[in-house]
Amino acid sequence: MIFITGILREERIMNNAVNKVQGSAGMKKIGWRRVFAGTRVLKPNKERINSPFRVILEKEIADQVRSWRFIVLIAIIALTTLGSLYTALNNISTAIKPDDPTGSFIFLKLFTITDGTLPSFIVFVSFLGPLLGIGLGFDAVNSEQNGGTLSRLLAQPIHRDYIINAKFLAALTVISVMFFSLVFLVMGIGIIATGIPPTPEEFVRIVFFTLLTIVYVAFWLNMSIWFSVRFRQPATSALMGISIWIFFTVFYPLIINLVIKAINNPAYHGNPDYQVFLEKLRLGLMRFAPNVLFSEATSTLMMPSVRSLGPLTMEQMLGAIPGPLPLGQSILLIWPEVTALTAATVLCFVLAYVPFMRREIRSR
Amino acid sequence: MAENVIQISGLTKKYGEFTAVDHLDLSVEKGEIFGLLGPNGAGKSTTILMILGLTEPDEGTVRVSGIDSISKPVEVKKIVGYLPEDVGFYDRYSGLENLAFTGRLNGMTETEAIKKAKLLLKRVGLEENSEKKTGNYSRGMRQRLGLADVLIKDPEVIILDEPILGLDPYGVKEFLEMIAGLSREEGITVLFSSHHLYQVQQVCDRVGLFVRGKLLADGDINTLSRKLFGSSPYLVEVGIPVQVAGDPDKLKNMTRVLLDVEGVLTVEEKDNKLYVECSHEVTADISRAIVRSGFELIYLNKREYGLDDIYYRYFEGGADHE
């Protein structure tokens, strides 16, 4: 019964929309925007008084989605996703060995395997996520300031933090919707192509992976919003964001390796404790890089066979039965990484928020 | 005693060592057009920001319609429309969409906001450009759209920061007439800052002279000139005839004749003219006296002090104070 009324209502709404579209089409030329505006009638939104925050949020989301840069970014990410999915599907038959302890996680392999020509999905995401975050946030505040719209906006009866909150939340919404659709798309194609449905555990792992990705992108987003508050020129803030991204992905590991090499004393080479210490130091330093945290966390989530993120001695390995970790244990293993990433995200937001609230906004 | 819509007392704002606004007291009555005049960097914009609660003062209070701007900025911004200097709009949206967005921020439904925006666009003469993206608007159109943007919330007070900067003379006239009309028809209180003296003179009921964070004087133009020029608010220029020009004795004679006229206070020679300061209107008496004493009357010009003179006089005075 509920279904029937639901369908009836839907039909009525659709008819309204169709009439509206036809009505407006009759009036003037049909631009896509006009058609779009017509379908907006679907929402009762038009007749409702929304809180100013919601009004700003809606506008920000619309701005993001309609912007060229978003279209370009989503195209890059969708193409790489399809590319990695294609290689994964091609190699999935060779990737599964009969005696593989993680054999039951075939579906996760769609996201992780590669034949060496193209990186896997999770590597792509860890590489392109920052670009997405920086791209959506680098001109959040300074473009409003330079366009002279910020002081006009602030003269409206709204609290100042509405603006920065809405900017962040709009980009976050866009990112979340995008990643969930992408991941579910990959899953759908995977089901069709392989004929194997994901197990509940795999599904939960994939959802966690997606959430983690969103937090990771949110970190870069907040950082670039911070730069957009700090720097007056959008170009400067974009460059700052990109250089930090490149620093962490390319130069930071090089520097850490140099440091480790420099302090490596050949006199102690025979001592295994020293080797463990060096390795722990290297890892500890590496973990200041958000991309390292992210790739550790995602590989643990998506490859259940990963059981430790630090060095393991032969003694520790001895007697261990090779097998996948249960979901709870995998999450426990990456808990520090997740906490650190979340903390960095919040920190960047605070760094953006406080100066924005205190600053005196003059026109242009 | 009319109701004071804007009441500022003891307002002070410092940026480090520099005092932008220095113990300012100012009140603006309901329905009047108040012009805030002063050179660049006099603290006009800072004062406006403080009225809106966009900047916190170091001392003093601002009340708009009895609401405290510092503790309740959102309440104040509900009744005050503010047009910033060099206003900007979202370039990718049309004028109508920009206005409707502001309307919705002020608690209107989308339908209401669009309806109201259309009305206002018609009113400011942008009806035909309402679908055009604001990125393609000219400076004058942007300013008019800015006025519509200010009006969409039905404000009690509108505050305009340098609204006529960068407009052509025709645009200035049109814009100011629009403001004056609004104030008269709807009883909206208008406060605007400018350094264009002539134009301000045309529309303002009252002006305040603002120099280095202080309000030096305020009142209507007549009051101001009386305040400034004391008991000699009238100035008459008298051309010196050729026969007198080269002869100091004759010049002295002529000066004496002029000084004998009742109401003349001082006579000063400058640039081949005599400047006669008078306590009241005696232009006719001066011309009669000149002709009667045998001098030729070649040129007589009655000058009224305008804002320019007031302004310059103040700067002379201001320089003395340093």
**Facing residues of A15 across strands?**
none
Among A51, A64, A363, the residue to mutate for chain B (most B Cβ within 10 A): A363
Domain positions in chain A = 1-48, 50-358
pLDDT of residue A361 exceeding 70, the answer is yes
Q: Choose from A67, A151, A358 for mutation: most chain B CBs within 10 A.
A: A151
On whether the CB atoms of residues B239 and B223 are closer than 8 A, the answer is no
Better pLDDT: B282 or A66 = A66
- Chain A residue numbers touching B101 (CB-CB < 8 A): 55, 59
Q: Which of B21, B137, B20, B31 is nearest to B86 (CA)?
A: B137
Domain ranges of chain B: 4-89+137-221, 234-304
B312 CA: distance to closest CA in chain A (Å): 28
Q: Looking at mean pLDDT, say which of A99-108, A224-233, A257-266, A297-306 comes out highest.
A: A224-233
Test B111 with A47 for CB contact under 8 angstroms. yes
pLDDT value at residue B224: 72
Q: Is the Cβ pair B81, A50 closer than 8 Å? A: no
SS3 B278: strand
Q: A139: helix, coil or strand?
A: coil
Q: What is the ipTM of this complex?
A: 0.77
In which residue are the tokens 């704002």 written?
B13
Question: What is the pLDDT, as a whole number, of residue B298?
Answer: 82
Distance between CA atoms of B266 and B279, rounded to whole angstroms?
Answer: 10
**A153: closest CA of chain B, how far (Å):** 8
pLDDT value of position B56: 87
Is residue B54 a contact partner of residue A154, using CB atoms and an 8 Å limit?
yes
Return the pLDDT at A309: 76
Contact B88 A360 (CB under 8 A): no
**Three-state secondary-structure class, residue B194:** strand
Can you tell me the distance from the alpha carbon of B166 to that of B221, in angstroms, rounded to the nearest whole number? 25
The verdict on a CB contact (< 8 Å) between A154 and B55 is no
Interface mutation target, options B55, B110, B162, chain A, most CBs of A under 10 Å: B110
What CATH number is given for B234-304 in this structure?
Answer: 3.30.70.100
How does DSSP classify residue B85?
A: T
Q: What was the pLDDT predicted at B93?
A: 92
In the prediction, which pLDDT does A53 show? 92
Distance between CA A343 and CA A204 in Å, rounded? 23
Is the Cβ pair A157, B52 closer than 8 Å? no
Nearest CB among B77, B92, B110 relative to A157 is that of B77
Rounded Cα gap, residues A37 and A39, in angstroms: 6
Pairing of strands B157-161, B189-194: parallel
H helices of A40-120, where?
52-66, 68-95, 106-112
Residue % of chain A over a pLDDT of 70: 84
Beta strand B67-68 with B59-64 is antiparallel
- As a whole number of angstroms, the distance between CA B173 and CA B167 comes to 9
Q: Which residues contact B98 (CB under 8 A, 6 or more apart)?
A: B89, B90, B134, B145, B149
Higher pLDDT, B50 or A14: B50
| A47 neighbourhood in chain B, CB within 8 Å | 109-111
Domain topology for B4-89+137-221: Rossmann fold (3.40.50)
Q: Given this model, what pLDDT does residue A21 score?
A: 46
User: Could you tell me the pLDDT band of residue A350, with boundaries at 50, 70 and 90?
Assistant: very high
Largest CA distance in chain A: 87
- Chain B positions touching A59 (Cβ under 8 A) are 101
In this predicted model, which residue has the larger pLDDT, B216 or A4? B216
Alpha carbon distance A212, A191 (integer Å): 23
Distance CA A230, CA A355 (A): 8
Query: CA-to-CA distance for B127 and B124, rounded, in angstroms?
Result: 8
Q: Note whether B247 and B311 are within 8 A (CB).
A: no
Instruction: Say whether pLDDT at A314 is over 80.
Output: no
Shortest alpha-carbon distance between residue B84 and chain A (Å) = 6
Chain A residue nearest residue B135, CA to CA:
A147
Collect all residues of chain B within an 8 Å Cβ-Cβ radius of residue A55: 101, 104-105
pLDDT in tens, A41-63: 455 667 888 889 999 999 999 99
CB contact (8 A) between residue B149 and residue A48: no
Q: What is the identity of the amino acid at B216?
A: L
In angstroms, the separation between the Cα of residue B283 and the nearest Cα of chain A is 49
Q: What is the pLDDT of residue B233?
A: 63
Q: Which of A24-28, A197-201, B47-51, B198-202 shows the lowest per-residue confidence on average (mean pLDDT)?
A: A24-28
Q: Determine contact, residues A216/A239, Cβ cutoff 8 Å.
A: no
Q: Please state, in angstroms and as integers, the Cα–Cα distance from residue A303 to each residue in A90, A100, A317, following that order.
A: 19, 12, 18
Query: How sure is the predictor about A158, in pLDDT bands with cuts at 50, 70 and 90?
Result: very high
pLDDT band at A99 (very low <50, low <70, confident <90, very high): low
Give chain A's contact residues with B (Cβ, < 8 Å): 45-50, 52, 55-56, 59, 63, 66, 147-149, 151-159, 360-364
Q: Is the dihedral of CA B304, B308, B312, B317 positive or negative?
A: positive
Q: In Å, how far are A251, B176, B276 from B86, measured between CA atoms?
A: 44, 16, 43
Residues A117-146 pLDDT 10s: 888 888 888 888 999 999 999 999 999 999
Which residues does residue B304 pair with via DSSP β-bridges, in sequence order?
A: B234
pLDDT in tens, chain B (322 residues): 457 889 999 999 988 888 888 888 888 988 889 988 887 778 888 899 999 888 889 989 999 998 998 889 899 999 999 998 888 899 989 999 999 999 999 989 999 999 999 999 998 888 899 899 999 998 889 989 999 999 999 999 999 998 888 888 888 888 888 888 888 888 899 998 887 777 777 788 888 888 888 887 778 877 776 666 665 567 788 888 777 777 788 888 888 888 888 888 888 887 778 888 887 778 888 888 888 888 888 888 877 666 667 667 666 655 444 3
Which residues in chain B belong to E strands, given as ranges? Answer: 4-15, 18-29, 33-37, 59-64, 67-68, 80-83, 157-161, 189-194, 206-211, 214-219, 234-239, 264-270, 273-278, 300-304
Supply the DSSP symbol for B128.
Answer: G
Judge whether residue A36 has pLDDT over 60: no
Query: For residue A49, what pLDDT is reported?
Result: 84
Q: Do B78 and A157 touch (CB under 8 A)?
A: yes
Put simply, the answer to whether B107 touches A52 (Cβ < 8 Å) is: yes
Q: Which residue has the tokens 């009667």?
A: B292
The pLDDT value given to residue A25: 43
Structural contact between residues B182 and B202, judged by C-beta atoms closer than 8 angstroms? no
Would you give the DSSP letter of residue A344?
A: H
Q: What is the pLDDT of residue B322?
A: 34
The values of phi and psi at residue B43, to 5°, are 100, 10
